[in-house]
Chain A
């Protein structure tokens, strides 16, 4: 018995140790990137490179970016596609999920089958590009919102949620003489706020991190979202060098400041909404 107790305590300390290391491995890179973004040029010269905790810091890199148009403009694009895109996602998903949750709807099975099929098979990225082009979305902000307007996966989660609402709601609404649209807007929607929040959050993180559709369909640099602009800043250092003409800031500091500017909204908002995401995964796993 005593031996088991000892082993148990050892195992437990090993677990605590591993978990602390794991947490540090997430936090340290973020901390280091912040440190680099705050390191002035003379520090780099003095130490022969970047160190983890610089002795002097400067906010110059952030000042340069926020007074220059590039990042603020990209912020604007990303903000628009996040807000408008999520709105489009939610409206279309709900309008499709609600009717499909009614077993009485004629043809329901066929519609569902056609939607599930799109999860299993797709035409490929080139034909999709040609359709986006044919529908006139190339080089517009719509190109980052419409071609992925409804996620079949989220649609199925929402449909399951509607199916689990009590049948009596529907009947009560009928007796009151409410039509389908009024039932959805006035009775079902208020009840489905939790699921709308969860799914809306997943959609909006997707838009904030938008990259794929932007590089596929948008070539006008003025319409690049944040992630694409950041990628440009990271891969072509001369594009940043021209920003710090007086050599006040090392290129790397500017690059890391851009990383932090892109990540901050997520890092700040995330702890408050984490719970919804975790619920979302579990909802999805029940379905899948």
Chain B
């Protein structure tokens, strides 16, 4: 194995890592604001994939325009899901919110299976490629990584520079205190869930331009989001991007040394290890 192939596969992994990063950001934002582990995350990613497919195939939209539409739809859908399935049970034990988000996932997957079946789909789309040594890096992956970075920057500007974004952070920090300061916490919680869904569906739309997918593909990315969320610290969106890069790096690196099918073993072993040793994430501070 040459250094060139190694470098190319690592670059490839890192590019995908950015996209994993924004998928995980949706999960971790929701956890950070309302301490809910969103088990419908994977279903929402899959919904984003099919949203993009529908927009591209039926309406002939450009895939990245479809990304914006799907993300906007995600915001609205997230607010609806929050009002129906989350708001009533926000303060109930963990099991309750886990199961209610799982119920949402069942509904989405069920409806999706009825509408699209479980056969694999893909979006026919190419942006050429770049040669790195003897290996090829696809243009779509580069663009997807750039969009993921822009999304992260926008999220950060929103959370740190706007009043609403600051309210979200206040609610995440201490909901009771935020309410006393006059922040409408219900609206803020619904909006946060909406943004989390936006990120999930948006990442789905991006992934759809890279790999073939089925309505069940979301669960793979949901599990990856858990791993990334824990790597970067649950509730820390910037950590997610770094966590995504670490995961992408591992996925680029491992196939060079052993069978690709060992990758999940290593990923999940790392996941459990980090939960045990440093549950606040690699970059989290002691509380």
Judge: A and B partners, yes or no.
no
Binding site for B on A (CB under 8 A): none
